[in-house]
């Protein structure tokens, strides 16, 4: 089974993330969306909310699993037998940042990173932009899957 891990904080999941997962399921037998837990980071949404947003977005897709994890991504990949890390690239800055991580991960393990370019229609969206729109009472719904709801 070709299993890919798609790691991130997903605070919240965006249409860009959603697009990468939807395209990833055509490349892999299973895509595991892994919400990283970082105690030093301040999140807008709780871990349970972020997990619910993603599970709801992919509720009709049996090839997508949603989990949480702590520690090194490659250690978690080994634990769940994921041979690939799936990442989306929006721009050249993303590429440079992700390239360094991919090289490090490959040096420390045999796990390959697969990059997908984001769709042109979602390449400008980031979770930090979505959070800013939400904080300022803007229409965030055009940037995220329908499952993301702010109370």
- Among residues 3, 50, 87, 127, the one annotated as catalytic is 127
Burial class (CB in 10 A: 0-12, 13-18, 19+), 34: buried
Specify whether 41 is catalytic: yes
Q: Measure the CA angle with vertex 99, ends 94 and 104; round to 5°.
A: 135
Using DSSP bridges, classify how beta strands 84-89 and 3-8 pair: parallel, antiparallel or unpaired.
parallel
pLDDT in tens, 49-81: 999 999 999 999 999 999 999 999 999 999 999
Choose the catalytic residue: 3, 17, 50, 87. Answer: 17
Instruction: Write the burial class of residue 23 (CB in 10 Å: 0-12 exposed, 13-18 middle, 19+ buried).
Output: middle
Active site residue 3: no
Task: Please compute the mean of the pLDDT values over residues 32-58 and round it to a whole number.
Answer: 94
Q: What is the pLDDT of residue 41?
A: 86
- Tens of pLDDT, residue by residue over 90-132, are 999 989 999 999 999 999 999 999 999 999 999 999 999 999 9
Domain boundaries, the chain: 3-142
- Give catalytic status of residue 48 as yes or no: no
Alpha carbons 89 and 43: distance in angstroms, whole number: 22
- What are the C-alpha distances in Å from 98 to residues 61, 102, 115, 120, 145? 27, 6, 9, 19, 24
The SS3 of residue 126 is coil
Active site residue 147: no
CATH (residue range 3-142)? 3.40.50.620
Torsion angle defined by CA atoms of residues 144, 96, 115 and 8, in that order, rounded to the nearest 10 degrees: -40
Rounded mean pLDDT of 31-44?
A: 92
Cis amide prior to 12 (ω within 30 degrees)? yes
User: Structure pTM?
Assistant: 0.95
pLDDT of residue 150 exceeding 90, the answer is: no
Annotated catalytic residue within 90, 99, 106, 131: 90
Active-site residue identified among 41, 48, 107, 151: 41
**Residue 65 pLDDT:** 98
So what's the pLDDT on residue 39? 77
| Cβ atoms within 10 Å, residue 39 | 5
């Amino acid at each position: 089974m070709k299993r890919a891990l798609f790691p991130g904080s997903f605070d919240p999941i965006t249409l860009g993330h959603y697009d990468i997962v939807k395209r990833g399921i055509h490349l892999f037998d299973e895509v595991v969306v892994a919400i990283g837990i970082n105690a030093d980071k301040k999140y807008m949404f709780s871990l349970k909310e972020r997990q619910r947003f993603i599970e709801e977005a992919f509720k009709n897709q049996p090839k997508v699993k949603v989990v949480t994890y702590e520690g090194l991504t490659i250690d978690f990949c080994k634990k769940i037998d994921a041979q690939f890390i799936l990442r989306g690239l929006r721009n050249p800055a993303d590429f440079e940042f992700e390239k360094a991580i991919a090289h490090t991960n490959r040096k420390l393990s045999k796990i390959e990173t697969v990059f997908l370019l984001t769709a042109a229609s979602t390449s400008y969206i980031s979770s930090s932009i979505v959070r800013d729109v939400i904080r300022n009472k803007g229409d965030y719904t055009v940037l995220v899957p329908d499952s993301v709801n702010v109370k």
